[in-house]
């Protein structure tokens, strides 16, 4: 078992390609109300959690709610892929604006394994190329998370490490 220390007042970015297990991890370790997922916000604004054309509106709404939570001093977890730097930099800026610590938890699972999971899922229909692109984006920036401003960076590699991890909130 690996305990991941996470400051009780922080903005946690889950980072990982589709199928890496972000939503599952969020469900296991955090309260439903602490987790803001891009899928849920796409559904809220567009009736379809996979509608990528709704992403801008969905993230706008998500960041608004995250800001309200952080202003009230509530731990907030963002469940989105966050494989691109610009997606993460928004979160770092939001955390800074509210004087809370940005935390990155990376779920780094081999692309092959994510793909075989994705193929089983009724709620995902994108092609292999999408996953390959996400994987490339993630690889490119994985080492730079500290420099981007994340104060705590936890990287979980492989299914065993992901399944064995627990979160320890620090006062």
User: Which residues contact ligand GTP (rule: CB under 6 A)?
Assistant: 16, 18-24, 39, 81, 117, 121, 124, 159, 162-163
Q: Which of 160, 158, 120, 111 is nearest to 139 (CA)?
A: 111
Nearer to Mg ion, 9 or 115 (CB): 115
Closest distance to ligand GTP from the beta carbon of 77 (Å) = 12
How far, in Å, CA of 76 to CA of 108, rounded? 21
Q: Give min distance, CB of 114 to ligand GTP, in A.
A: 8
Closest by Cα among 98, 117, 109, 112 to 15: 109
Tell me the C-alpha distance between 27 and 16, whole Å.
15
Backbone angles phi, psi at 99, to 5 degrees: 60, 40
Q: Which does 117 bind (CB under 5 to 8 A by kind): ligand GTP, Mg ion, none?
A: ligand GTP
23 vs 141, which CB is nearer to Mg ion?
23
Nearer to ligand GTP, 19 or 102 (CB): 19
């Amino acid at each position: 078992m690996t305990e991941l220390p996470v400051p009780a007042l922080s903005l946690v970015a889950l980072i990982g390609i589709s199928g890496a297990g972000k939503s599952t991890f969020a469900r296991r370790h955090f309260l439903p109300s602490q987790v803001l997922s891009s899928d849920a916000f796409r559904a809220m604004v567009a009736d379809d959690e996979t509608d990528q054309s709704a992403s801008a509106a969905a993230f706008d709404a998500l960041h608004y709610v995250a800001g309200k939570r952080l202003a009230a001093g509530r731990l907030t977890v963002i469940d989105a892929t966050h494989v691109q730097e610009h997606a993460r930099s928004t979160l770092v800026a939001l955390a800074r604006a509210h004087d809370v610590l940005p935390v990155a938890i990376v779920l780094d699972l081999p692309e092959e394994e994510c793909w075989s999971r994705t193929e089983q899922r009724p709620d995902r229909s994108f092609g292999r190329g999408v996953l390959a692109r996400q994987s490339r984006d993630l690889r490119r920036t994985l080492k730079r998370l500290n420099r981007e401003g994340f104060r705590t960076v936890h990287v979980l590699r492989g299914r065993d490490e992901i399944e064995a991890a627990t979160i320890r909130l620090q006062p």
